[in-house]
Structure 1
Amino acid sequence: MGGSWTISDVAGTLRRPTAADDKYSRGVLGIRTGSELYPGAAVLGVEAAWRTGVGMVRYIGAARDLVLQRRPETVSQDGRVQAWLIGSGTDASARRGDETHALRALLTGEVPVVVDAGALDLVVAATAPIVVTPHAREHARLRGALGLDDEVPEDASARARAAAETAAALGGAVLLKGSATVVASPSGWSTTVDAGTPWLATAGTGDVLGGVIGALVAGAAAGGELDAERLAALAASGAWLHGRAARLASSAAGEGGGPITALDVAEALPRVVAEALAAA
């Protein structure tokens, strides 16, 4: 167990851009999320990725028009990327065959993939470097698909052990969402990240988290290949930034904090990234 992830740990995974950088060297994230039923998930993930500091976002999906209305700098054509974010705002039971084929191609490709929600059913066969971001019930289903015990542990140490076991079976990084988020790598390493505020338990915040992690992974991948251990560290940093942004957004509502929306969390991200960079 690696203890709790701190701002110093986060600072060690971030990179401040230099005058020599361009949008490609800062990382290009491909996002294939959202659906006709849940188009907002795509908007939130794209928003979060931009605000975390990625060089370019390519969006491919059903929410193209909504994404471009909110973030017109987004590129809506397929092309070279350094990482993918898939699954947010989608339902595996409603997924078309051509979309399944496209997602499987990404999961057996060479670039890292952050996998959320409606694409988690496909990760058992993945060969690409992956980060999976399940909540407790999704984690139980994933463990069942891997032939592991699918009970849902509530004890903190049991959650950490289960996440590490899942990571080892997958050969990828696992971020198990919760009031205390657990991140684990295949080596057995794990860490916890405080979610920050109970106000974070609201619709769409998981979509924001996916965008944050995707941006960090794309930025790091632009500098070279990433192994599962590095992906786990980036996922932990994404969870920390997400939680800290939620705390800042909540505190803006007044003394003691107040309600927030997922978009509030995304909009607080630039300040939190700057705070973490200052700690380096």
Structure 2
Amino acid sequence: MTRSWTIEDAGRVLRVPTAADDKYSRGVLGMRTGSEAYPGAAVLGVEAAWRTGLGMVRYLGPVRPTALVLARRPETVTAEGRVQAWVVGSGTETASRVRAETDTVRGILADTDPVVVDAGALDLASSASAPRILTPHEREHARLRAALGLGAPRGDRTAAAIETAEATGAVVLVKGAVTVVAAPDGTVILVDAGTPWLATAGTGDVLAGVIGALAAAAAADDRPADPASLAALAASGAWLHGRAGVLASHARGGGPITALDVAEALPLAVAEALAR
């Protein structure tokens, strides 16, 4: 089954806080992202998570990205503790990952909290047991498929995403002008809500933060982390990300945008979806 995702669909996934909420009941997202080589990925993902709306972001990463995250978002917690969902891998590379980090990420992927798996952690995701949303771009998807022995995608992005989801047991989101979200049961969601200006460095890091925030809020609300629910979270994150890109461009006369512009426009995108 294939369907398109709408503003109404995205709005149904979002949760408005009440007077009874605290920071824990609104969701706590753990993030192991960024590296000394790509510290900005950590900043962008953390910024996006906060802007999407949740109770706490707990960032655990290298020294330089940690300093930059705190300079940009001082409310971020940088000590270990309770989390309800994770984002791992953004701004990291498999080749430069040290053994201790590999062991830590494997531990996260072997637990029960939902995990958004991006970039440099995708190689660890195929045999994991945690509820997972994989977020490769086209080249990362091709590398993942090669590692799984599936071969290169042959033009049909939807069929390839379904095959990867079936092979990994995870929800697979393949980024592009039209984002494809595939669940292991063959369900496919297409998200066409963006602008070509989103094809710029760092927007994938923003997307991972958005989806992570939605996953943490859903977990705090005791919503299930089954593939159908995770696919809805992934598609809603892609919709909000795309709409934020459009809003950011409109605010600049329809011109070019940066990843941080997209993150800063997320509250408006969230407000629009909630209003519908």
Same fold flag (TM > 0.5): yes
* Cross-structure match for 1:212: 210
* Cross-structure match for 2:96: 94
- Tell me, yes or no, if structure 1 residue 112 matches structure 2 residue 114: yes
| Equivalence map 1:1-280=2 (5 Å) | 1-62=1-62, 63-148=65-150, 150-154=151-155, 158-224=156-222, 225-254=224-253, 257-279=254-276
Aligned length: 273
SS class of match (1:12): helix
Gaps of 5+ in 2: none
Shift of 1:140: 1.4
**Could you say what the CA RMSD is over the residues aligned between the two structures, in angstroms?**
0.9
Gaps of 5+ in 1: none
| 2:160 counterpart letter in structure 1 | A
Shift of 1:194: 1.3
Separation in 1, partners of 2:7, 2:250: 19
8 Å contact from structure 1 (residues 178, 195) kept in 2? no
Separation in 2, partners of 1:272, 1:199: 16
SS class of match (1:124): coil
Percent identical among aligned pairs is: 68
Query: After superposition, what is the alpha-carbon deviation per residue over 1:233-258, rounded to whole angstroms, capped at 9, x for unaligned?
Result: 1000000000000000001111xx10
Q: TM-score, normalised by structure 2?
A: 0.97
Q: TM-score, normalised by structure 1?
A: 0.96
Shift of 1:186: 0.8
Separation in 2, partners of 1:20, 1:102: 34
8 Å contact from structure 1 (residues 32, 60) kept in 2? yes
SS class of match (2:189): strand
| 2:101 counterpart letter in structure 1 | E
| 1:124 counterpart letter in structure 2 | S
8 Å contact from structure 1 (residues 124, 145) kept in 2? no
Shift of 1:195: 4.8
Query: After superposition, what is the alpha-carbon deviation per residue over 1:60-98, rounded to whole angstroms, capped at 9, x for unaligned?
Result: 001111000000000000111000000000011001010
Separation in 2, partners of 1:252, 1:270: 14
SS class of match (1:111): coil
8 Å contact from structure 1 (residues 136, 152) kept in 2? no
SS class of match (2:4): coil
Shift of 1:12: 1.5
